[in-house]
Structure 1
Amino acid sequence: MSTPSNAVSPDIGVVGLGAMGMGTACSLLRQGLSVIGCDISPTARAAFEDAGGRSAETPAALAGCSVVLLVVVNADQVEQVLFGAEGQGGLAAAMSPGSVVMQCATVAPSYAVALGERLAALGLVMLDAPISGGAAKARTGELSVMSSGTAEAYEKTDAVLSAMAAKVYRLGEQPGAGSSVKLVNQHLAGVHIAAAAEAMALGASMGLDLEVLYDVITHSAGNSWMFENRVPHILKGDYTPLSAVDIFVKDLNIVHATGRELKLPMPVAGSALQQFTAASGAGLGREDDSAVVKVYQRLRHFDLPAANDAEERPS
């Protein structure tokens, strides 16, 4: 049963203490907010406690929070946190009326719209607030937030947004607009990573020095933010996942599902999705998304730097 609205505490809940969620939760702590982090991983919870926060094993412990951020992987996890198994026993039913759910995962815009309506029926406020910037920007409180929601939602989350973001885009008054813009971003991000991998595969197949190639392209018109950011992972032979291959299998599938809803063909995004799907099928799903280059390597059998090679190179 929901508690009275005057029982809402000033605590901020963060569900999901992965790379993005941990950084975000720690940024909130640094700004003096009272934060409870929730994750199924005991290691993640212990790390957040070491940073000065409180932790919870289950979302139910966040029922009294004034704002809860969902920094989870996908819509299925959002459903599980908010509504529980088969719509029973989730966090949403236990939160006090007037509390805010900040939905930060990449989900289909149509799902974000429907979620806002379901939460409103429970007396809750939703801020559609997908985030971008990676783990590094999350740690420094410099994320970009692509958001949409009511004036009430922004008023109640002002301190949270100020602590976690360098830029907050206010894109509309209802949930859905934020997720729509994030989907465009993910379309471009996935295409650019796949294109960067393909370009490096082309260079490697022609016998070029990949370090020199990287330097030339990053000072030329062919550069992109993703090329500049992801190709160093290839040059170091380090595929430790900062953002995994399977994330773009998920996100580009959402792009395509939305395209089907709109009857909009997207062949370029389709090609990128096939490359990420091939990488995942080859067992690379949990490696860094730059590992999509290995799909090309397995077809053409060119050399790529190995991690130990990178360690031997002078810095």
Structure 2
Amino acid sequence: MRKAGIVGLGAMGAGIAQTLRANGYEVHVCDLRPGVATAFAAQGGVACNNPAEVAAACAVVVSVVVNAAQTEAVLFGAGGAAAAMKPGSTFVMCSTVDPHWSAALEDRLGQAGIHYIDAPISGGAAKAASGQMTVMSSAKPQAYAQAGAVLDAMAGKVYRLGDRAGAGSKVKIINQLLAGVHIAAAAEAMALGLREGVALDALYEVITHSAGNSWMFENRMAHVLAGDYTPLSAVDIFVKDLGLVLDAARASKFPLPLASTAHQMFMQASSAGFANEDDSAVIKIFPGIELPKGKGKGKGKGKGKA
């Protein structure tokens, strides 16, 4: 049976693991949270105690963690994958990171004979679980030769954007620029609707069938209507991702006025106590509005002075 390893069984990682299993792979998994890997393995697959165990069993290891620091820990921390990976094996990095950091990681792993694919992902938990997510990848041909089938098995769209690491991450942070700005704009529009006394259900229905709609409005403002801020993608994810966008632009002195404003909005939401809520909680920074109540964490009034 074909094997693949997954490190990190969060919303996206769990979906990828499920998709690979459904496509006939023996999936070896690990996660820092107790019981998560064993729960996955109970439905089929192999639970491992750390990334090194995953790497010892699989020639392709897919890392689905939050950021560069966590990826470093997956590879080079205690029980890390790098020391256990055989020469010629491939490490697939799915986090949103600085493109220059990703390019440097390719060189570092290459010195140990390990192939590397810069492969940030997009689409959300539902598309990851259904095998319909998008992979924005770049890698040397040798890496694709070994791990290309795994990428194709875990995603609906796999874009090959270059023959060196970094190109995939550049495209991903541009995607995140749009995603973050769209969420911030959607929250602003919904907040204005509340302030003006518009019925939110009606506003949502009209906008989602009109030219002003975006995927982020349709997806995230449904969370606001439900009053459910359970984090599928947290506020602090966009503090990080838009920070990466601005860092990249600053290096070339390129102006990004909309991304800068959106970043400040997520920063404000984070510092107001909503850091670990769903990113739609950025709407809570607007003053003098009464948000729909529901089962989610952090429901109630928008914060700030009226």
The question of a shared fold, defined as TM-score above 0.5 by the shorter chain, is answered with: yes
1:69 aligns with 2:59: no
- SS at the partner of 1:63? helix
Aligned counterpart for 2:283 among listed residues 270, 293, 296: 293
Q: Give the aligned partner of residue 33 of structure 1.
A: 25
Work out whether residues 18 and 44 of structure 1, in 8 Å CA contact, stay in contact via their aligned partners in 2: no
Q: Give the aligned partner of residue 246 of structure 2.
A: 256
**What amino acid is aligned across from residue 293 of structure 2 in structure 1?**
A
Q: Give the aligned partner of residue 191 of structure 1.
A: 181
Q: Give the aligned partner of residue 293 of structure 2.
A: 306
Distance 2:53 2:177 in 1: 35
Work out whether residues 10 and 66 of structure 1, in 8 Å CA contact, stay in contact via their aligned partners in 2: no
Q: Give the aligned partner of residue 313 of structure 1.
A: none
Length, aligned pairs only: 295
Distance 2:71 2:242 in 1: 18
CA deviation map 1:57-91 (0-9, x unaligned) = 21111232200001000000011111226xxx732
1:20 aligns with 2:20: no
Distance 1:149 1:158 in 2: 10
Greater CA drift, 92-101 or 181-190: 92-101
Q: Return the offset for 1:270.
A: 0.9
- SS at the partner of 2:184? helix
Aligned counterpart for 1:208 among listed residues 198, 213, 235: 198
Runs of 4+ in 1 over 4 A off after TM superposition: none
1:79 aligns with 2:66: no
Relative distance call for 1:118 and 1:308 in structure 2 (3 A) is: closer
CA deviation map 1:84-126 (0-9, x unaligned) = 26xxx73213210000000100001111111111111110101
The structure with the largest helix share of the pair is 1
Q: Return the offset for 1:308.
A: 6.0
Q: Give the aligned partner of residue 219 of structure 1.
A: 209
1:141 aligns with 2:131: yes
1:152 aligns with 2:118: no
Relative distance call for 1:29 and 1:292 in structure 2 (3 A) is: same
Greater CA drift, 171-180 or 216-225: 216-225
CA deviation map 1:25-64 (0-9, x unaligned) = 1110111111111101123113211221111121111232
Work out whether residues 52 and 83 of structure 2, in 8 Å CA contact, stay in contact via their aligned partners in 1: no
Work out whether residues 2 and 24 of structure 2, in 8 Å CA contact, stay in contact via their aligned partners in 1: no
Work out whether residues 62 and 91 of structure 1, in 8 Å CA contact, stay in contact via their aligned partners in 2: yes
Q: Give the aligned partner of residue 42 of structure 2.
A: 50
**What amino acid is aligned across from residue 73 of structure 1 in structure 2?**
V
With normalisation by structure 1, the TM-score equals 0.90
Q: Give the aligned partner of residue 260 of structure 2.
A: 270
Distance 1:182 1:173 in 2: 16
CA deviation map 1:186-236 (0-9, x unaligned) = 010001000000000111110101111111111111111101111111111
Relative distance call for 1:173 and 1:303 in structure 2 (3 A) is: same
Q: Give the aligned partner of residue 175 of structure 1.
A: 165
Work out whether residues 26 and 51 of structure 1, in 8 Å CA contact, stay in contact via their aligned partners in 2: no
Distance 2:89 2:147 in 1: 10
1:113 aligns with 2:107: no
- SS at the partner of 1:157? helix
